[in-house]
Amino acid sequence: MAPTPPSSAAPSVLRWVLIIGGAGFAAGFFGPMIFAPDANQGPLVGILMSGPGGVVLGALLWAIFKLLQVPAARQWQGIWITSLLLVIAVSLLIMPKPELSGDLEEVRFDSCSRPVDSIDEANAYWDKQLAARPDAARPGWKEDSREMLQNDDGVVLAVDVVRSKTLRAERKPWNSGHILASDWQIVNAQKSYYARYAGGSCSDYAAGTRAILFHDRRFYGVPTNLGWPPKKVPHFLDLQTLEAVPDSYRTYTGD
């Protein structure tokens, strides 16, 4: 008598465990690399979660199918269908969440000053930051920074943030780039920002004027060779930046 083909024999518990566990491992290991390469969990999903979870699921289903005396062909179907569903479920779970793009903020300008006017406060701030790491300071940074602020063509704005709207960008393969906009939220908070979108003169930011502007909140990575204190004016002043609303976001400025 010819040996029974493996496909017509009921799968052993080892096959249940290896196939379903392997499917879970592969989805959790390679999925983040493909769909969310910047995610901090990376392949650990497959190693620590979906792989072991697939092993447990495979063993559990083997026991259930064995107890119910399901025919061999149906058991093989159960293995492949379960593996496929597990891959789909893990893939959906590891899809990247929407990325914070920034805020639309309706502001009222209260006052305006030149960056160099904040030199004493900025120097005091960085003296305090460097107290624990004096070796990290750039030689002559105070002289360099004063020149940097004097020559800068931006301004420091004290504003009243009247209301704001948060924008997030979808990152899944089928809707990447789609913007999710929240409703306008009343804020009424005093904040200071760096700005240069309208020029470097305070006359371009008249007190009492209202405008809808963009506050970029995306993470671009930690800059290399930044140096302490940083050589960019808003970073040196420890201020975030207000910009003109990009064309791609203008449709969300309405009520």
- Tell me which of 36, 60, 93 is where a domain ends: 93
Same domain, 115 and 223: yes
What would the pLDDT profile of 84-134 be if each residue is shown by its tens digit? 999 999 999 989 999 999 999 999 999 999 999 999 999 999 999 998 888
Same domain, 111 and 201: yes
- Residue 1 within any structural domain of the chain: no
Whether residue 142 is predicted with pLDDT greater than 60 in this model: the reply is yes
pLDDT of residue 116: 96
Residue range(s) defining the domain that contains residue 54: 6-93
What would the pLDDT profile of 45-95 be if each residue is shown by its tens digit? 888 899 999 999 999 999 999 999 999 999 999 999 999 999 999 999 989
Same domain, 26 and 130: no
Whether residue 180 is predicted with pLDDT greater than 80 in this model: the reply is yes
Same domain, 172 and 126: yes
Strand partners, 193: 157
**Is the pTM for the entire model greater than 0.95?**
no
Same domain, 112 and 230: yes
Same domain, 79 and 193: no
Torsion of Cα atoms, 174 then 179 then 183 then 185, to 10°: 130
Number of H helices, E strands in the chain: 7, 6
Q: Give the percent of the chain with pLDDT over 70.
A: 93
**For the chain, what is the domain count?**
2
